[in-house]
Structure 1
Amino acid sequence: MKAAPEAQRRLLDLQAIDTALAQLTHRRKTLPELAEIDAVAREISALEDERVRAQVAVDDLDRDISRYEKDIEQVRIRKERDQQRLNSGGALKEIEGLEHELATLNRRQSELEDAELELMEQRETAAAALADVQERLSAATGRRTEAERRRDETLGELTKEQEFKTGARVPLAADLPADLVTLYEKIRTETGMGAALVYAGRCGACRIELYGADLARVKAAPADDVVRCEECRRIMVRTSESGL
């Protein structure tokens, strides 16, 4: 393939833009914020599971405490009723029975209140654990929001830079010979780089030094020949810096 030396040199400008675009694409995929967001997301998921367990523990204790309160209230109602009957007087046997039942109810109330107090202490501990995990969850959510903000800000900057580079690439590629650009694009698609400068006798793509028959081939090629590296197959652009 033939192409004017100037066109080949401008191919390096096209490669520089494509390299910059590839680097920008890589940066988009490897932003530190992305890893941070993933890590915080896992932390939030674990904290949410912990929060659910803590909430269930509080809810279970609230339910048990409520049940004890109902039982205590029933005992109080029975005590009031028995006390009223006792105050009304009656047969000795009946009075003795009421007094015995009141003593039993007093013991039952005391047991229930002790059990309720123990549950209330457990609930205080459980509520503190719930508040702690909620605080940590809130902090993690805040860190994720901040990381997302920084990610979006950086992505916005990268997008602008990509648009600028793409805008510069279009007229440059359009101004080069179509067959040269086609070959360049084919090589770039296959290897990630389509063209490189020969510098100090080395291929600028694979960094292999030219020697022997390969060096003689490149030296002997007319200036408008499009030469390719025998090792990496990229287009080798020759300039005064090539050392040939």
Structure 2
Amino acid sequence: MKAEVAQQRSLLALAELDAEIGRIEHRTKNLAQQQALEEARAGHREATDRLAALQLALADIDAQIAKFETEIDGVRQREDRDRALLEGGTVDAKALTELQHELETLQRRQSSLEDSLLEVMERREELAADQDKALASIDERQNALSDAERACDEARAELAQLHHQSVSRRAELVAGIDEALVTLYERQRARSGVGAGALQGRRCGACRIEIDKGELARIAAAADDEVLRCPECSAILLRVKGSPA
């Protein structure tokens, strides 16, 4: 195949542009900002899980408090009833002794319940303080998450703009290159990922493999408008430098 040097120069620019598009797409798939966003999401999720656990613990503590308060109230009511019987003077000596013994037992029971209630309420204060800290942490993590989302969106938008510009430039380049040359280039690119590369000393710019002296001699002897292929990777081997202005 023959192609003017200017056409080959344009093809080299196309290959370089395709490489740039590939780099942009790789960066889009592997955004550093995306990793930071995932870390921020994990931190936010951890903080909300911590809050949920504290809220469950508080609900359990509140249930215990309600139970102790109910039991204490029941003991007090029974004490009031026994005292009313004692003060009424209507019970015999045996019943009186039993009532006094029961009152002592109820007082001990009430004291025990009140001590337990105090311990539980102290625990509740600790959990409530932890909940306040968890809420503050969630606010901080939410701010960090919002910042990470914004940074990720901005990075993606910038790369999308670069990609759009590169694709538009590619279309312009392709429109100015011979159709047969573009077809050959695209066929090779579909096979190996790289359609063309510049000859750089003894090395193919597409596969980066050094070409032996015999092939280099054949390449050097070929006419400037001869479209050559790399003997190693079959990519179009371009013997031009730079790209069109």
Matches within 5 A, 1:129-208: 129-208=130-209
CA contact (8 A) 2:228 2:238 kept: yes
Output the TM-score relative to the length of structure 1.
0.88
Q: Which has the higher contact order (CA 8 A, sep 6+)?
A: 2
Residue 8 of structure 1 corresponds to which residue in structure 2?
A: 8
The Cα of 1:20 is off from its aligned counterpart by: 1.6
Q: Distance in 2 between matches of 1:210 and 1:23?
A: 26
Q: 1:190 to 1:130 in 2, by over 3 A?
A: farther
Output the TM-score relative to the length of structure 2.
0.88
Matched, 1:225 2:241: no
Q: Unpaired segments of 5 or more residues in structure 2?
A: none
Residue 116 of structure 1 corresponds to which residue in structure 2?
A: 117
Question: In the alignment, residue 140 of structure 1 is paired with which amino acid?
Answer: R
Q: Unpaired segments of 5 or more residues in structure 1?
A: none
Residue 18 of structure 2 corresponds to which residue in structure 1?
A: 18
Question: In the alignment, residue 30 of structure 1 is paired with which amino acid?
Answer: N
Structure 1 stretch 42-51 or stretch 18-27: which is displaced more? 42-51
Q: Secondary structure at the match of 2:209?
A: coil
The Cα of 1:201 is off from its aligned counterpart by: 4.1
Task: Please provide the CA RMSD for this pair.
Answer: 2.2
Percent sequence identity is 37
CA contact (8 A) 2:40 2:148 kept: no
The Cα of 1:117 is off from its aligned counterpart by: 0.7
Q: Secondary structure at the match of 2:183?
A: helix
Structure 1 stretch 27-36 or stretch 80-89: which is displaced more? 80-89
Q: Distance in 1 between matches of 2:120 and 2:208?
A: 75
4+ aligned runs moved over 4 Å, structure 1: none
The number of aligned residues is: 241
Residue 68 of structure 1 corresponds to which residue in structure 2?
A: 68
